Amino acid sequence: MKHKNIKFGFIILIVSLLTFSTAFSQNNNRIILIETNYGNMKIKLYNETPLHRDNFIKLISQNYFDSLLFHRVIKNFMIQGGDPDSRHAPQGKRLGNGGPDYTIAAEFNPKFFHKKGVLSAAREGDNVNPEKRSSGSQFYIVQGNVFTNEQLNKMEKGLNQRRKQEFIGKYINKKENQTIRNKLDSLQKDKQSQKIQSILQEIETKTQDEFNKTYKLKFSPEQRKAYTTIGGTPHLDGAYTVFGEITEGLDVIDKIASVKTDKHNRPLEDAVMKIKIIK
C-alpha cells in the first residue's frame, strides 16, 4: 500500500482533529457511506482507532474525497483511493503520490485484521517509514483471497521469519548495543561470515522470549475463521492500520476489483467516489 511524497504537519493535524473528537461519543461508531458508480458501501469506523477515525471524518466534512477515484485496483487483493490528484485526472495519468501534508501514527489493534471488507490506511514503505505511519488521506478496502489452514500455517512461518530479522535488526541498532554493531561491521568488512552468524544466533537466543511476547505473529481462531471463509490479506496484519469495515455493500468491492486496469493498476473506466457521513 505505497504512498509517496508525504510531508509532516503534526500541529495542524492535532488541532483540527481536536475539533471533531470532542463531539464523538465513545459508545457509538461513526458510519459513513462511500457512493460509487459501481454501487454504495456503508462503513463503520472503529472507535479504537480514534486518530484515523477523526481524521477521516474531518476530511469527509471538507468534501475532500468527492470526485476522487479508486486509482489502484488489484483483483483478489484490494481497491485503493484517496489521492487528491485523482480528481478529474485524465486517463493514463499515473496516480498515488497525492495527499495532505501530514501522516498519522499507526494504531495497530489485534482485534482488527485484514479480512475482506475492512478499511485500512495506505502508507509509505518500511524503508522510509519504519514507524509505519499512515497516509493522511489514502486508504484501501480489502478484497483478498480465501486461504486454507495449511496456507495460513505456511504464511505464519514466513512472516515470523521476516519479523525476527526485523526484530534482531532493531535490537542491534539500539544505542546500548553499539559495541555489538561495531563488531559486526568489522567482521563484515573482513568477510567473517561464520563469526557473524554465531553472534546473530546468540542474539536470537537471548531475545527469543521478548520476540515471542512482542513481535511473533500467530493467527487467532477469529482470524483463521475469516481467512478460510470470506478471505482477506493476512500478510498485511500488524503492518497497516485497519480502522473500519463494510457493513453493507460487500459485493461492490468485487465489482470494482473486476474492472480492467492499465499497467499501473488504474482502472480503464474510472471508479469515482463520493463519501458522506451518515451517523
50 plus 171 within the same structural domain: no
Please indicate, yes or no, whether residues 44 and 90 belong to a single structural domain of this protein: yes
**Cα 255 from chain centroid (whole Å):** 22
- pTM exceeds 0.85 for this model: no
For residue 178, being part of any structural domain is answered with yes
Asked whether residue 75 falls in the same domain as residue 198, the answer is: no
pLDDT of residue 10: 44
- The span from the CA of 155 to the CA of 158, in Å, is 5
Report if residue 221 sits inside a domain.
Answer: no
The pLDDT of residue 204 is 93
Q: Is residue 256 part of a domain?
A: yes
Start-to-end Cα distance in the chain: 28
Give the C-alpha separation, 141 to 119, whole Å: 5
Q: Are residues 139 and 153 in the same domain?
A: no
Q: Are residues 78 and 107 in the same domain?
A: yes
Question: Of 161, 185, 214, at which residue does a domain stop?
Answer: 214
In a domain? residue 156 = yes
Do 160 and 203 fall into the same domain?
yes
Please check whether residues 174 and 79 belong to one and the same domain.
no
Taking residue 207's Cβ as centre, other Cβ atoms within 10 Å add up to 17
Judge if 39 and 108 occupy the same domain: yes
Residue 125 counted as domain residue: yes
Number of separate domains in the chain: 2
| 199 vs 207: CA distance, rounded Å | 12
Rounded distance between C-alpha atoms, residue 233 and residue 69, angstroms: 22
Q: Are 27 and 98 within one domain? A: yes
Please give the pLDDT value at position 8: 43
Read off the CATH number of the domain in which 242 is found.
2.40.100.10
Task: Looking at the structure, tell me whether residues 136 and 269 fall in a common domain.
Answer: yes
Domain of residue 42: give its range.
Answer: 10-146+230-277
**pLDDT at position 45:** 98
In a domain, 102, yes or no: yes
pLDDT tens digit at each of 279 positions of the chain: 655 544 444 444 444 454 444 444 445 899 999 999 999 999 999 999 999 999 999 999 999 999 999 999 999 999 999 999 999 999 989 999 999 999 999 999 999 999 999 999 999 998 899 899 999 999 999 999 999 999 999 999 999 999 899 899 989 999 999 999 999 999 999 999 999 999 999 999 999 999 998 888 899 999 999 999 999 999 999 899 999 999 999 999 999 999 999 999 999 999 999 999 999
Q: Is residue 224 part of a domain?
A: no
Question: Are residues 27 and 160 located together in one domain of the fold?
Answer: no
Which amino acid makes up residue 272? Answer: V
Examine residue 222 and state whether it is found in any structural domain, yes or no. Answer: no
Shared-domain flag, residues 113 and 248 = yes
